[in-house]
Chain A
Amino acid sequence: MAVKGDLKDISLASLISINCNEMKQARLRVMHEGQQASLFFDGGNVVHAVLGTQVGEEPIYEVLTWEEGEFELQDGVASPQHTVTTGWSGLVMEGARRIDERASAVPEFIAPVEEPHGPVSAQDLIVTRRCAEGVTGVVIVATDGTVLAHDLDGESVGDLTNRADGVDPDQEGAIAVFVGNAARQIGEALALGAFQSGVVQSSTDQSKMLVLNRPDYYVGLLLAERASPALVATSVAGLLR
């Protein structure tokens, strides 16, 4: 049985992420303004894509720019060819890079505090936010509390603070470090091994922050009320690997 939906409800990057993480063999048909593309999944990757006369990776990059359209996912359909060799996260990152290039006329979309350095870049933020369903903001912070980059526009998460102009990156970064450091102390005391992730949930508005522990930094993700921290953690960990 096919699953049908609208790209307004779930992005193509999310569909790719979910199908690859679940190691599905499936065909995804995407319809947009009279065009129809087909993506084939197998063994945790996109193995083939077709758009008109194009095959391979280029159709995927084109389809990733589609913000509107319908899709139909059919499980158990084997791919007729193998024309894609790049891993799914690489495809999504390259797609996001191309989108970013096209959207360069809107430079304020991403607001790095300073020139990104170290293991993360603004690119990671764009990919993270676009690919993980339910993520309303991202802050990447070094273990010393320095905010490396952030994507907090305050549109969806303005209720987290009293600031009228959105969420404060320094504060959100400090919270991520605070939780991460506390978790490390608790983990050491109880001999529970490495800290992987933490979720802080407030009782009044059900807002959540997911903190992911990376070797040199923490990723703080502000989540929508209905977002699943486990699913987001899996998607984002795959992207940042």
Chain B
Amino acid sequence: MQELLRNINAVVGVSGSFVCSTDGEVLASVLPGTLDHAMLSVVARTAAQTMAGLQTVRKRKIKDIDLLFAEGRVIVRGLRGGSLCILCAQRVNVPLLNLTADVAAKKIAARLHEKAQGQAEPESRPQAQVAPAPAPAVQREDTPRPEKAGRMSSFLRPFGR
């Protein structure tokens, strides 16, 4: 996925991009060195929460969220199994960016799908007759995540809603 992100970053006005899962976990990133991992995690979690919340409320898939700031722009593209986040200049040529991002997004979505299938397969197989493999990382129970359905309400709680 790194190569696909580098292709996106090659578009004039794009400073970085990353892919996160629907849980807000950063899966791949090509970003400027000034951005630390903790900040990236905040952005990834927020992007994933926002995408999930909007899809729940709207009852349909969200294509993208385009956020404009005084000193930049963040485009969050919804993918099956995650989100693609692109950090760019405020006046980036969006149609030009889309030419590259659309292609990359399809390939990234396909890889996310493959990854999800790869993780699901061991559970659907019959009990192995050989020595069991080490438990995959996704089965770890030490970091429980909040229920998806509670995201919107928990996000709006600080606003008294």
Q: Are A and B physically bound partners? A: yes
Stretch at the interface among B5-13, B51-59, B119-127, B133-141: B51-59
Shortest C-beta distance, A205 to chain B (Å), equals: 7
Given the contacts A185-B42, A189-B39, A190-B87, A203 and B78 also touching, CB distance less than 8 Å: yes
Q: Which of A174, A194, A195 has the most CB of B within 10 A?
A: A174
B66 contacts A205, C-beta separation under 8 Å:
no
B30 within 8 A of A: no
Interface status of B50 (Cβ within 8 A of chain A): yes
- Choose one: A181, A193, A205; the contact of B71 (CB below 8 Å): A193
Question: B111 near A: Cβ within 8 Å?
Answer: no
Specify which chain A residues have a CB less than 8 angstroms from the CB of B59 in the assembled complex: 161-162
Chain B contact surface mostly: mixed
A179 within 8 A of B: yes
Q: Mark A169-213, 1 if CB is under 8 A from B, else 0.
A: 001001101110111011101111111111111111110000000
Chain B window 36-60, contacts with chain A (Cβ cutoff 8 Å), 1 for yes, 0 for no = 0001101100110110011001111
Taking the closest CB of chain A, its distance from the CB of B13, in whole angstroms, is 14
Known: A190-B87, A200-B65. A177 touches B156 (CB 8 A): yes
A145 interfacial by beta-carbon distance below 8 Å? yes
How many B residues are at the interface, by size bracket?
35 or more
In the complex, the answer to whether B70 meets A194 with C-beta atoms within 8 Å is yes
Q: Are A195 and B69 in contact (CB under 8 A)?
A: yes
CA distance A70 to B31 in the complex (A): 53
- The answer on a CB contact under 8 Å between B57 and A171 is yes
Per DSSP, chain A at the interface is mixed
Size category of the A interface is 35 or more
Q: Which of B57, B70, B87 contacts A193 (CB 8 A)?
A: B70
Asked whether A143 is an interface residue with its Cβ less than 8 Å from the other chain, the reply is yes
At the interface, yes or no: A160 with Cβ under 8 Å from chain B?
Answer: yes
Which of B49, B72, B159 is in CB contact (< 8 Å) with A177? B159
Partner of A194, one of B63, B69, B155, B156: B69
Q: CB-defined interface of B62-79 with A at 8 Å, one 1/0 digit per residue? A: 111111111111100010
Question: Are B62 and A200 in contact, with the CB atoms below 8 A?
Answer: yes
The answer, yes or no, to whether B1 is at the interface (CB within 8 Å) is: no
A181 contacts B63, C-beta separation under 8 Å: no
Contact A202 B58, beta carbon cutoff 8 Å: yes
For residue B123, give the distance in angstroms from its CB to the closest CB of chain A.
29
Q: Pick the residue among A177, A178, A187, A205 that contacts B60 (CB under 8 A).
A: A205
**Which residues A62-82 have CB closer than 8 A to chain B?**
none
| Of A144, A171, A183, the contact of B160 (CB 8 Å cutoff) | A144
Residue on B nearest A229 in the bound complex, by CB: B66
A225 smallest CB distance to B (angstroms): 12
In the bound complex, residues from chain B placing their C-beta under 8 Å from that of A197 are 67-68
Chain B residues with CB under 8 Å of A200's CB are 54, 62, 64-65
CA distance A202 to B78 in the complex (A): 9
* Residues A145 and B156 in contact, CB atoms below 8 Å apart: yes
- Report yes or no: A181 in contact with B54, Cβ–Cβ below 8 A: no
Q: Other than A144-B160, A191-B71, A204-B60, give 12 A-B pairs with Cβ distance below 8 A.
A: A182-B50, A182-B155, A183-B69, A190-B72, A192-B69, A195-B67, A196-B69, A198-B65, A198-B68, A200-B64, A200-B65, A202-B58
Nearest 5 A/B pairs, CB to CB = A193-B70, A192-B69, A203-B63, A193-B71, A192-B72
Binding site for B on A (CB under 8 A): 143-145, 160-162, 171, 174-175, 177-179, 181-183, 185-187, 189-206, 229
Give 18 pairs: A residue, B residue, CB < 8 Å, sorted on A.
A160-B58, A174-B161, A181-B155, A183-B69, A185-B43, A186-B43, A190-B43, A190-B74, A191-B71, A193-B70, A194-B70, A196-B69, A198-B65, A198-B66, A201-B63, A201-B66, A202-B60, A202-B62
